[in-house]
Amino acid sequence: MNPNPFTRRNFMTTSAKTAAITATVVSLGARISAAEEAADQAGAKGGINHSVCKWCYDEIPLEDFCVAAKEIGLKSVELLDTSDFPILEKHGLTCALVTSPSGTTKDGVKVGGIEKAFNRLEHHDALQETYEAKLKQCAEVGAKQLICFSGNRDGMDDGQGMENCATGLKRILPLAEKLGIIVTMELLNSRVNHADYMCDLSKWGTALVDKVASPNFKLLYDIYHMQIMEGDVIATIREKNKYFSHYHTGGVPGRNEIDETQELYYPAIMKAIVDTGFTGFVAQEFIPKREDKLASLKQGVEICTV
């Protein structure tokens, strides 16, 4: 028996194994470094621009809410009017989506809200007047999106309603295009919250966008509402994202916190949105059940940060 096991042959074999291990470690390290760099680059390119709908926190004065929103990491407080922009700007915030204006027809009907809007021809004169005025105000303060609604069916056929909506929207979109403002129609559920609302399915909404054929008319894809109406949220975002200029959140069921108490997994949904290359805003629009409402908002923003 050789008393010294470290012969030249053993040394060469051991050295070769060591070199192979070293090469493997170096290669693995390089791959990990490359993966981390790619992830960093993806994060720099993607991410979510966070907004919040103020109406869910009506009891908090706007000034105080802006301070809290900024601390939480929000960039926008929305569904406000153009008159609120000075307060927002004071705190380094914007309004990603301006609330809908309202007008009155010659017959005294108030229009512009969820129930009475673009799907009726008799509303169009008043809507054109009020929307064109609001579009000009949006341009003055630098707002980029203005919300609109279809209106309720009230016995009207969906096809006729689509034709009427297209007719009315085409009256205001030339000005929107000139001013660089997107008019976005919200998809709402008609099963739980807004009975009889016409624009209640993404199929109907996207067909309307195609019919209008303007780069300044898009849809607000409300995740809460569309989960109730049709589900298949991530697949819809992947397939139809070109139609969507804005997103809203909300826990299902109940429209409360978007944490483990509800059925949607928002990190995956946000990842799907980021993967489409979306650069707009996602707004929290849940109604907090907890006593500390701002803590719930902070949690929602953290859940949606991907």
Read off the pLDDT of each residue in 153-173 and give the average, rounded to a whole number: 98
Residue 33's pLDDT is what? 41
User: In this structure, what are the phi and psi dihedrals at residue 112, rounded to the nearest 5 degrees?
Assistant: 115, -15
Residue 26's pLDDT is what? 41
Tokens coding 16: 């070769």
Residue 261's pLDDT is what? 93
Region label for 124, one of left (φ > 0), alpha (ψ between -120 and 50) or beta (otherwise): alpha
Nearest-angstrom CA–CA distance, 221 and 226: 7
Beta bridge partners of 111: 103
Number of residues written out for the chain: 306
Residue 283's pLDDT is what? 98
Per-residue model confidence as pLDDT tens digits over 92-146: 999 999 999 999 999 999 999 999 999 999 999 999 999 999 999 999 999 999 9
Residue 30's pLDDT is what? 44
Whole-model pTM: value is: 0.85
Per-residue model confidence as pLDDT tens digits over 282-306: 999 999 999 999 999 999 999 999 9
Query: How confident is the prediction for the chain on average, in pLDDT?
Result: 89
Read off the pLDDT of each residue in 9-16 and give the average, rounded to a whole number: 47
Region label for 47, one of left (φ > 0), alpha (ψ between -120 and 50) or beta (otherwise): left
Assign 223 a pLDDT band (cuts: 50, 70, 90): very high
Read off the pLDDT of each residue in 56-70 and give the average, rounded to a whole number: 98
Tokens coding 58: 């009506």
Nearest-angstrom CA–CA distance, 95 and 82: 9
Nearest-angstrom CA–CA distance, 151 and 132: 19
Tokens 């016995």: give the residue. 155
